[in-house]
Structure 1
């Protein structure tokens, strides 16, 4: 097959429900430095589509043109040799009116492009799948990849409880905390049954777990092993952590296994200050003042919904030494 050289650009399409928009956009900002009201985004950032619970498809751009005829001209130079291929024009929701193409026209376009490519088409099991997408008034042709919903397979765990994050939210949280895993060391010091840990480890994120409750530590280890993953989960309070991490994720304890008072929540946040520069907090109640008291500042935030249950997700950066806890919180 004649070598096809990508341009270094990628187009991602998104699928999410209305309640998931804030969380999806926050993940976009973590990955790409920006979000969009459209359900498509073009970027030079290379993200495997299966990492995100919201990315539907990815097009690795090979060439582009202002017109469809320009795409056909360039496609005629593609020589597949012995490799088989197929061309698809994916169904893309929420395109601008100028970019909308009807179903039959899409099939006709697929056939026209397939006819000019040198090689043998195979619509069932091709060696390479090409895609064509209109975006921003231009046409883009490239290598197409459909996302695999890995998080969906993690829904059935040996150990679970009802107030744990959903696997979908947990995967997005892990991505927001660690969008670029290479060289990053992370920890979930209140990991519970390991919902975030499972998602992080399945994406190759170097994340350790820890919890003060021996029952949930055992459950977390069992869940990790159940999915064939390898990860460390230690028993102990967050205050005993002495090693340094690039990022920490804290889902504030509030369930029937481990409930933290306001004073204990403040102590958890303050204990994170010495060992991490970046902190992602999941909370069911406003804790901005606690974040500030702990020596962090909030740099991004969103609301994640699960039916009528709301969680706030806060991305924080370390700023200064923690201030003294509010006198009210010091009272027994």
Structure 2
């Protein structure tokens, strides 16, 4: 019923607040090896849009052409049989302001394509979504998948902590650390109440957690179980870890209860270098020299801001 190319291409659109742009771009680079300045990107990399707090939707390209009539003509090959459908004009594109396509014209384009598709259209509860978008002077049409914003449910976790990462930042950090989960083993050795663990586990990432504070590890286990996930969270310092991991996610302790001195921070980094080939380090201070002294090289970085408070997120190998 639906056509899939031998080597499918995908169009992704993105949306974020200005203060989140640096983080969004780092996540993009981790997923796709590049970033999109216009919040729209074409790639052969297949990412579930619901993994990212910044991907808005994804079109799996079926047809493309230099003009809209080419798309309309090709859409006539689709037979939906018993399934209903809806065509959606994706508003995010790279058109200049003077070329923007207004609401009425977008609805007309949707109807024009929909008329050619064999089957029953349903604008309210369709079985299948199609998307149409323009990018780089060409038109693209295909299967549309919207982001389900799963991380919003995780905001309602039973145990919270004032200095914990937001669910959006935690989800992006998990993606930056493990863009391709298959075969990757991860550890969060300063896991706190498990904000990163919950996001990672919800995306099928193989990750374990540790923390020296038994109160927060108890809260982490409660949060993980609350959302129906299963995770291994233990009490103890990173120095006790003997297993090897592909990546460590380290939100360096800085709150009143588990503040780490520079010496303790350096020890955490040294042990991270010992047990993992890659680390994503979150810090409120500039610690580049400490990271390099611990044996890591900083490969990429961003700033995650919220008001006057900001964190540095560093990708190290």
Query: What TM-score do you get using the length of structure 1 for normalisation?
Result: 0.93
Pairing of 1:40-189 with structure 2 (within 5 A): 40-92=40-92, 95-97=95-97, 100-189=100-189
Q: Contact between 1:298 and 1:314, CA under 8 Å: does it hold in 2?
A: yes
Name the counterpart of 2:289.
Answer: 289
Moved more, 85-94 or 283-292: 85-94
How far off its partner does 1:99 sit? Answer: 5.4
Q: Contact between 2:86 and 2:126, CA under 8 Å: does it hold in 1?
A: yes
CA distance, structure 2, for counterparts of residue 90 and residue 255 of structure 1: 43
Name the SS for the 1:23 alignment partner: helix
1:277 aligned onto 2:263: no
Name the counterpart of 1:4.
Answer: 3
Q: What stretches of structure 2 of length at least 5 have no aligned partner?
A: none
CA distance, structure 2, for counterparts of residue 131 and residue 204 of structure 1: 27
How far off its partner does 1:288 sit? Answer: 0.6
Name the counterpart of 1:19.
Answer: 19
Name the counterpart of 1:298.
Answer: 298
How far off its partner does 1:94 sit? Answer: 6.2
Q: What stretches of structure 1 of length at least 5 have no aligned partner?
A: 318-332
1:202 aligned onto 2:197: no
Q: Which runs of 4+ in 1 moved over 4 A?
A: none
Q: Contact between 1:253 and 1:260, CA under 8 Å: does it hold in 2?
A: yes
Q: Contact between 1:52 and 1:175, CA under 8 Å: does it hold in 2?
A: yes
Query: What TM-score do you get using the length of structure 2 for normalisation?
Result: 0.97
Name the SS for the 1:108 alignment partner: helix
CA distance, structure 2, for counterparts of residue 22 and residue 123 of structure 1: 36
Q: Contact between 1:88 and 1:131, CA under 8 Å: does it hold in 2?
A: yes
Q: Contact between 2:186 and 2:246, CA under 8 Å: does it hold in 1?
A: yes
Name the counterpart of 2:29.
Answer: 29
CA distance, structure 2, for counterparts of residue 98 and residue 172 of structure 1: 34
Q: Contact between 2:38 and 2:93, CA under 8 Å: does it hold in 1?
A: no
Q: Contact between 2:40 and 2:93, CA under 8 Å: does it hold in 1?
A: no
**1:175-217 deviations in whole A, cap 9, x for unaligned?**
0000000100000001011010010001111110000111111
Pairing of 1:217-228 with structure 2 (within 5 A): 217-228=217-228
CA distance, structure 2, for counterparts of residue 165 and residue 5 of structure 1: 39
Q: Contact between 2:91 and 2:133, CA under 8 Å: does it hold in 1?
A: no
Instruction: Give the superposed CA RMSD.
Output: 1.2
